[in-house]
Amino acid sequence: MAKISLLYFAGPALLAAVTLAISAFTDSPKNSVSGGGIASGNIQFNLNALNDKDSKPGRISYGNVSASVECVAVSSTKKMATIYFSYSGSILGVTIVDGGEGKYASSDLISDPFVVDEMDCSAVIPQNAYNKVTSGNIHLK
């Protein structure tokens, strides 16, 4: 009876220890946004942003604006993201919507850069107006 009780309590502890050991040696998923092309209004854009404290966050260009990315916030559904960057002494954001791929995909969307009062690298900021990506693609991971 004592052996059964010991296995009963030691089993979950052993399982937890194995799970922690495996997760310590595997990469956790990193939120990333990439893409490029032309948005409505003939606006050229290119973005490569990674939300990972151990690497460089990336770059963004939108029309005449080009800057290093400070951080990126990705929604839990991985369909929308806000890319934060500094430009001409201001903190700006660009919000994108990934329309998906395949048969049921909708258009990818990208906002014009907007001023951000306070950078919150965990907050996706929806916008009232977006430009449709007419050529190119946006990917969220």
Prediction pTM value: 0.76
The per-residue pLDDT for 30 is: 67
Spatial distance between the Cα atoms of 121 and 59, rounded to a whole number of angstroms: 16
pLDDT tens-digit readout, 59-87: 999 999 999 999 999 999 889 999 999 99
Q: So where are the chain's domains?
A: 31-140
Angstrom distance (rounded) from CA 103 to CA 91 = 37
CB 49 within 8 A of CB 72: yes
Cβ contacts of 88-97, under 8 Å, gap ≥ 24: 90/115, 91/115, 91/116, 91/118, 91/119, 92/65, 92/67, 92/116, 93/125, 94/47, 94/60, 94/62, 95/124, 95/125, 95/126, 95/127, 95/130, 96/33, 96/35, 96/47, 96/138, 96/140, 97/130, 97/138
Query: Per-residue pLDDT for 135 more than 70?
Result: yes
CA distance 7 to 27: 31
User: Which pLDDT band holds residue 112 (cuts at 50, 70, 90)?
Assistant: very high
Residue 94 has pLDDT above 70, yes or no: yes
- Quote the pLDDT of residue 29: 47
Per the CB < 8 A criterion, the answer to whether 87 and 67 are in contact is: yes
Please give the pLDDT value at position 7.
Answer: 45
Q: What is the pLDDT of residues 4-41, one digit of tens each?
A: 554 444 444 434 443 333 333 334 446 789 999 999 99
